[in-house]
Structure 1
Amino acid sequence: MIIGEYLQKSKSKIDDLTRSDLYIVTVIILVGFAGFGLGRLSLIEDSKEPVRIEFPEHLSASVLNSGKTTEGTAVPSVVNGLLVASKNGSKYHYPWCSGGKRISEKNKIWFDSAEEARFAGYTPAANCKGLK
């Protein structure tokens, strides 16, 4: 057969289709695309990790104990300090950063500000976001 004959046969078959046939074919194609898209979307949602909020232990303890105070006592807002460094290291961290969590309690040095830590000879840790 020649290409022209195939073209003529396909045109005649398209002319034989009614509106309801075209509607059914269109609906089937759209449902297929929607199903594929929803399947892909479900894979993306499953791969996301949930958000976890972790509080430093010394801050959690002060918040829990703050409800038990009497009028004569005051609870400090931060028990130890805002920044932590190691006696053996040269970097300072936030207590909730990975580097700050790895410092053992006996080697921790606490600072109330970044200026105080810099004055003591420490520099900000690069892996702790927000330190300047």
Structure 2
Amino acid sequence: MNGNTNTTTNNVEKPSNTNVVNKIESTYVGSDKSNKYHYPDCRWAKKIKPENLLEFNGKSDAEGKGYVPCGTCNP
């Protein structure tokens, strides 16, 4: 051995558990003109007029207000 030590520093950040929680209880959207809630990127959610758009802070929030999951995006 020549006394040189090879050290490698790995500065890769590990994903936090916060990302998992946000994915599970993310924001859902619905319309005050229907009883369905959607993922925001659902094709039906994109058709909701801004004046009718509602946001929910999770499935329990949407379902507690009488909304049911969209059959297309299956939130």
TM bucket by the smaller chain?
Answer: 0.5 to 0.7
Residue matched to 2:35: 90
Matched AA of 2:33: N
Counterpart-to-counterpart distance in 2, 1:104 and 1:95: 13
Counterpart amino acid of 1:114?
K
Query: For structure 2, which runs of at least 5 residues remain unmatched after alignment?
Result: 1-21
| % identical aligned pairs | 33
Alignment of 1:1-132 (within 5 A): 82-129=27-74, 131=75
Equivalenced residues, count? 51
Residue 109 (structure 1) shift: 0.6
- Radius of gyration: which is bigger? 1
Measured after TM superposition, the shift of residue 97 of structure 1 is: 0.5
Misfit runs of 4+, over 3 Å: none
CA RMSD of aligned residues (A): 1.6
Q: CA deviation at 1:127?
A: 0.3
Q: Give the counterpart letter for 2:42 in structure 1.
A: C
TM-score, scaled relative to structure 2: 0.63
Structure 1 unmatched runs, 5+: 1-76
**Which structure is higher in helix share?**
1
